[in-house]
Structure 1
Amino acid sequence: MRPHRAYSPGLTGTLPPREARHLVEVLRARVGDRFTVFDEHREALAEVVEVGPGLLRYRVLEERVPEREVGVEVVLYPALLKGDKMAEVVRMATELGATRIQPLIALHSVAKEMGEAKLERLRRVAVEAAKQSGRLRVPEVLPPIPLRALPRVEQGLLAHPGAGARVREVLDPDRPVALAVGPEGGFSGEEVELLVERGFTPVSLGRRILRSETASLALLALVTAGEGR
């Protein structure tokens, strides 16, 4: 079996059914094979001790706590997007270190709701992206809320065309940060005012007009990868 990371909450010795099916049916795991398991707190080298239809049991050989997390809470508030665009946002946000993803329903959002099946799919995307990127923590993906329900934040950055401030000028990398990104049509003037009241500072992402999913990637990259975190 080729090297693989599997998500196993609690490192209980039994993989969740979806993870087990992938290792057994796709990767052809056999007793004695070794792979990596992880949860929100640690990862470990594991050895397969039993396989069956939709079943894989393992024993932990060596635990470790790699330093791959950002170190502060990074919450992304992206406007709800239609189609597969939200999946791309969740994947990129997970790779870049977001700890929670809370979609917002804004005035110009084309999509106004999200079904339970799509929400579960986005959560699976987050798990897969965490596995690929070496993260321990899988970001929480929450059901969308109206923008007016967004709470006040300690430190917030709002991607806003025409803003004068740059991320590096206003960001305190040692404090939790919330990031807000609007839909394709942008946030309305009233929504921008509301976000500022809730603790968000408008920042520029350059002179070009970015698609919503690109803006999420750019803002997160400046906050995490740009700070070497």
Structure 2
Amino acid sequence: MHRVKVPALARVMPLDPQESQHLRVLRLRVGAQVQVFDGEGGEARATVIRLDEGGAMLELGERVENDRETPQPVTLAVALLKGDKLSDVVRAATELGVARVQLLQTRYADVPEIGDAKLVRLRRVAAEASKQSRRAVTPDVLAPIPVSKLVLDGQGFLAHPGSAARVTDSLDWSAPVTFVSGPEGGFSDAEVAALTASGFVSVTLGPRILRAETAPLALLGAVAATGV
């Protein structure tokens, strides 16, 4: 069943031009059944009640339970990366269950800042990935902040070469979880010290050195492999 992202679940839901065009490309007709989700955890079945050149409209049906979210929200805090690497990370992180992506400005970041257009594009990537992976939650992609401004809420883990601890050894789901991953040049000693002092636990990603776009996905993949 085709899935459609809507701003909110309501009795009658008009679709934006992009979603309307997508339904026309699929050659759906009035009366067709689709599944809608609002990106905030709400999901339901719906019926197409209008579909023409002027747009599309859906009528809300029965709610659907979605069991594809982690027991507690997961935040991925990741350093700014150049090119399309951030898009790749956001897409895969969404598939792996994160609730939000917090972009970080770090000393050795590949780029110092990103523009508004890039941020909008990353949010679009997250929306498409949540639809593809059949999630009811679309992760928010938050504007970059200095790593020194990152506040720990719940349990936090820092991917850092040379660490001995493994994330699965101490992860529990009694509170929200934040995973932190650095740039290609790694975090500075001062940044690691500050994160550790804030309560983040340094963890290993294995004996090999991973690229900056691979490390956060290895970290999330280790958690996803536990079945949550």
- Give the TM-score category using the shorter length: over 0.9
2:47–2:58 CA contact under 8 A, matched in 1: yes
Which position in structure 2 is the counterpart of 1:193?
193
CA positional deviation for 1:95: 0.7
Which position in structure 2 is the counterpart of 1:167?
167
Which position in structure 1 is the counterpart of 2:21?
21
2:157–2:200 CA contact under 8 A, matched in 1: yes
Which of 10, 17, 31 is matched with 2:8 structurally? 10
Count of residue pairs brought into register by the alignment: 225
Q: How do 1:110-149 and structure 2 match up within 5 A?
A: 110-149=110-149
CA positional deviation for 1:28: 2.8
2:93–2:217 CA contact under 8 A, matched in 1: yes
CA positional deviation for 1:53: 3.0
Which position in structure 2 is the counterpart of 1:72?
72
Which position in structure 2 is the counterpart of 1:226?
225
AA in 1 matched with 2:105:
I
| Structure 2 portions without partners, runs of 5+ | none
Measure the CA separation in 1 of the matches of 2:174 and 2:226: 10
The farther-off stretch of 207-216 and 47-56 is: 47-56
Measure the CA separation in 2 of the matches of 1:108 and 1:10: 40
The farther-off stretch of 176-185 and 57-66 is: 57-66
SS at match of 2:21: helix
SS at match of 2:214: helix
2:158–2:180 CA contact under 8 A, matched in 1: yes
2:76–2:178 CA contact under 8 A, matched in 1: yes
Which position in structure 1 is the counterpart of 2:85?
85
SS at match of 2:206: coil
CA positional deviation for 1:174: 3.0
Change (3 A) 1:152 1:34: closer
AA in 2 matched with 1:66:
N
SS at match of 1:56: strand
Alignment of 1:206 onto 2:206: yes
CA positional deviation for 1:165: 0.7
TM-score, length-scaled by structure 2: 0.93
SS at match of 1:216: helix
CA positional deviation for 1:107: 0.7
**Structure with the bigger percentage of helix:** 1
AA in 2 matched with 1:82:
K
SS at match of 1:9: coil
TM-score, length-scaled by structure 1: 0.93
1:46–1:60 CA contact under 8 A, matched in 2: yes
